[in-house]
């Protein structure tokens, strides 16, 4: 089949390479000329384990090429971003633009699949009206489905193949046709449903995680008040067969979990009370982390070493990262900071080249992302570089016991 994928980002690019490496002819479309140029040389502009080699092999086989405009194909997959606006509403402009862009090329028998995360009813209320401009009858001549992506950044190539998929068609035949498309590489189950259920299911998956992280973060704040070790409490409670409290941390970042719950809230603000509260709790964590930092430092810190600024470990993505807010708070408080993140190349003039450089002269260090690089370090060896060897580990990632370095873990107040 010939597949045209719109949006060469974290989802569209690996998906394109996957189809291409499974024998399909894939056209990758992106509005960014740099991304298009790089891709045609087999180069990628994002970090994801295994992706570079995978994309290069697809391009070298001649099955994947990039361009800035769509063209005629059998299947169109829309995988463009849905950012959140200032008013915390889904900005559907990229989805609308991508749908409009394919209208001149779509023919009878084609399948249009939206993978972008969208608020409930977007296929019915926004995408279908645009596709009607083709003059084709939707569901009989043009098949339309929402097949939300579910891959975890850091494990995209594995999860694309092994995760279960939900395929929400505008009618049964659309769901069936879209499911067939994914059968070429998906080894998980493919479940067929209607488009609106698929939209809502995707949003609820990420909301479930957000609410559970909020519960862990709330437990952390309660534990601070009561002098309890929240990390131990979570470990023990999770020994129950039906309990799965998530891990506390400096907040929830990324372009999915910190954003998707708002797509539900905007559609039903009166009812989505718990969902909103979870957002508020998670958004309050950067302030809590800075407060904790002040409590463990005996004097007001002059310089803080911030270790890890991505929204989670072992990735290069700083979007919606709680670290950005923590840096802003430090800045506003007039506290000097150095930053070290082995996964981020360009970010800030204060980005240090090594852990040693970042720690030198610091009164306190704060780990905000659980990169593997931070787990195996002998922090006792580094203690001498700091003015005061104190470290706040917000991701519970230091495993070795320390003597010279004073290690405080977010959540552990049992002392």
Cα separations in angstroms, 248 against 125, 230, 284: 38, 9, 12
Question: Is 256 an annotated catalytic residue?
Answer: yes
Shortest Å, Cβ 106 to ligand SAJ: 26
Question: Is 4 an annotated catalytic residue?
Answer: no
Say which residue the tokens 């320390």 belong to: 402
Distance of alpha carbon 37 from alpha carbon 66, whole angstroms: 8
**CB environment 22-55: b (16+ within 10 A), e (fewer):** eebbbbbbbbeeebbebbeeeebebbbeebeebb
**How many helices (DSSP H) and strands (DSSP E) are in the chain?**
16, 13
- Whichever of 9 and 139 has its CB closer to ligand SAJ, that residue is 9
Residue list 98-117, contact with ligand SAJ (CB under 6 A): 117
Asked whether the beta carbons of 190 and 226 are under 8 A apart, the reply is no
Shortest Å, Cβ 80 to ligand SAJ: 13
In the stretch 147-166, what mask flags binding to ligand SAJ with x, by CB under 6 A? --xxxxx-------------
Asked whether the beta carbons of 156 and 54 are under 8 A apart, the reply is no
Residue list 198-257, contact with ligand SAJ (CB under 6 A): 205-206, 209, 213, 246-247, 249, 252-254, 256-257
Shortest Å, Cβ 100 to ligand SAJ: 24
- Whichever of 51 and 297 has its CB closer to ligand SAJ, that residue is 51
- Whichever of 159 and 357 has its CB closer to ligand SAJ, that residue is 159
Mark the segment that binds ligand SAJ (CB under 6 A) among 145-153, 178-186, 301-309, 339-347.
145-153
- # residues contacting ligand SAJ (CB under 6 A): 20
- Whichever of 116 and 338 has its CB closer to ligand SAJ, that residue is 116
The CA angle 256-42-114, to the nearest 5 degrees, is 35
Mark the segment that binds ligand SAJ (CB under 6 A) among 86-94, 144-152, 297-305, 336-344.
144-152
- Whichever of 206 and 412 has its CB closer to ligand SAJ, that residue is 206
- Per DSSP, 88 falls in state S
Shortest Å, Cβ 240 to ligand SAJ: 17
Asked whether the beta carbons of 398 and 412 are under 8 A apart, the reply is no
- What residues contact residue 317 under an 8 Å CB cut-off, 6+ apart? 10, 47, 153, 254, 255, 310, 311
Catalog residues that contact ligand SAJ under the rule CB under 6 A.
117, 149-153, 205-206, 209, 213, 246-247, 249, 252-254, 256-257, 311-312
So which residues are the catalytic ones?
Answer: 202, 256
């Amino acid at each position: 089949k010939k597949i045209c994928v719109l949006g060469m980002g974290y989802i569209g690019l690996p998906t394109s390479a996957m189809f291409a490496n499974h024998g399909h002819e894939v056209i990758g479309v992106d509005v960014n000329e740099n991304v298009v140029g790089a891709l045609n040389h087999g180069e990628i502009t994002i970090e994801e384990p295994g992706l570079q080699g995978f994309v290069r092999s697809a391009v070298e086989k001649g099955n994947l090429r990039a361009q800035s405009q769509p063209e005629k194909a059998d299947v169109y997959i829309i995988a463009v971003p849905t950012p959140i606006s200032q008013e915390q509403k889904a900005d559907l402009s990229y989805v609308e633009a991508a749908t409009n862009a394919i209208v001149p090329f779509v023919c009878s028998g084609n399948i249009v699949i939206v993978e972008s995360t969208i608020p409930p009813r977007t296929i019915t209320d926004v995408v279908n009206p645009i596709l009607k401009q083709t003059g084709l009858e939707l569901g009989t001549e043009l098949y339309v489905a929402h097949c939300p992506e579910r891959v975890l950044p850091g494990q995209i190539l594995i999860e694309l193949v092994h995760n279960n998929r939900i395929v929400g068609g505008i009618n049964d035949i659309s769901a069936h046709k879209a499911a067939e498309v994914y059968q070429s590489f998906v080894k998980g189950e493919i479940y067929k449903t209607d488009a609106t259920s698929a939209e809502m299911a995707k949003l609820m998956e990420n909301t479930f995680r957000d609410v559970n992280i909020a519960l862990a973060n709330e437990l952390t704040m309660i534990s601070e008040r009561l002098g309890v070790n929240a990390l131990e409490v979570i470990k023990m409670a999770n020994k129950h067969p039906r309990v799965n409290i998530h891990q506390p941390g400096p907040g929830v970042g990324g372009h999915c979990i910190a954003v998707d719950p708002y797509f539900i809230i905007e559609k039903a603000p009166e009812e989505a009370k718990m969902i909103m509260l979870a957002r508020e709790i998670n958004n309050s964590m950067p302030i809590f982390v800075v407060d904790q930092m002040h409590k463990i430092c005996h004097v007001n810190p002059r310089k803080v070493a911030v270790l890890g600024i991505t929204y989670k470990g072992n990735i290069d993505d700083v979007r919606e990262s709680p670290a950005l807010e923590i840096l802003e708070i430090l800045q506003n408080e007039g506290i000097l900071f150095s930053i070290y993140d082995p996964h981020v190349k360009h970010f800030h003039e204060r980005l240090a080249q090594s852990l040693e450089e970042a720690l030198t002269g610091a009164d306190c260090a704060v780990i905000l992302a659980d990169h593997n690089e931070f787990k195996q370090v002998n922090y006792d060896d580094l203690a001498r570089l700091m003015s005061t060897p104190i470290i706040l580990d917000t991701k519970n990632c230091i495993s070795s016991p320390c003597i010279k370095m004073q290690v405080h873990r977010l959540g552990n107040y049992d002392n």
